[in-house]
């Protein structure tokens, strides 16, 4: 008589149950921590500066107004041991002005010179408001202890509240 080598129908579910209960987790590799050598100590950075023709209102200093059209002021200095990398700039400026420009300068100067980054438009109006807005990608930086100098040119602007925001990150300065 020949014996069958096939398992009995009742033993298959029992074998599957035992295999699932006794199986150990298997992993192909262990986790390896990754460090980003190019972006040491990268810390997000956002800053909003508020101003009017009467002076600085929030996060700015050294305000100066020339010919009722050109404003110069400084943002807070970059922390010691860090470099500020700016990736975007946005602003809300008065709609009464027919020409607007924003410059971030390496030194404080009334002329539109020594600009690390500048924007001349377009600006977008919002129905029912007295402001025009803009938002733009950017790429410029300030070193440890340096002060971001901001120059704003507006024509026919008075009695307004405006703001400029920057975003990016701080990195450790070697």
Tens digits of residue pLDDT in 2-41: 665 666 666 666 766 666 666 665 555 565 566 656 666 7
Q: Mind listing the pLDDT tens digit for each residue in 135-144?
A: 999 999 999 9
3-state DSSP helix/strand/coil % of the chain, to nearest 5? 10, 45, 45
Model-wide pTM > 0.95: no
Distance of CA 33 to the CA centre of its chain: 26
Contact call for residues 59 and 147 (beta carbons, < 8 A): no
Domains of the chain: 38-172 (2.60.120)
Grade residue 111 by pLDDT with cuts at 50, 70 and 90.
confident
DSSP state letter for 8: P
pLDDT at 42 over 80: yes
Cβ atoms of residues 74 and 82 within 8 Å: no
Cα–Cα distance list, 112 to 48, 71, 72, 96 (Å): 22, 11, 11, 21
CA distance 169 to 174: 16
Tell me what the mean pLDDT of segment 41-64 comes to: 91
Q: Region 79-94: what's the mean pLDDT?
A: 94
């Amino acid at each position: 008589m020949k014996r069958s080598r096939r398992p009995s129908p009742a033993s298959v579910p029992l074998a599957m149950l035992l295999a699932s209960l006794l199986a150990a987790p298997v992993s192909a590799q262990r986790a390896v921590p990754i460090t980003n050598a190019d972006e040491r100590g990268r810390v997000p950075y956002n800053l909003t500066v508020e101003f009017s023709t009467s002076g600085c209102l929030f996060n700015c200093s050294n305000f100066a107004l020339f010919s009722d059209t050109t404003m110069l002021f400084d943002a807070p200095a970059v922390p010691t041991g860090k470099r500020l990398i700016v990736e975007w700039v946005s602003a809300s400026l008065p709609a009464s002005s027919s020409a607007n420009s924003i410059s971030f300068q390496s030194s404080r100067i009334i002329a539109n010179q020594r600009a690390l980054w500048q924007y001349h438009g377009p600006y977008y109006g919002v129905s029912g408001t007295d402001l025009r807005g803009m938002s733009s990608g950017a790429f410029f930086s300030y070193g440890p202890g340096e002060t971001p100098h901001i120059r704003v040119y507006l024509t026919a602007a008075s009695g307004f509240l405006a703001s400029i925001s920057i975003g990016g990150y701080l990195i450790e300065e070697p």
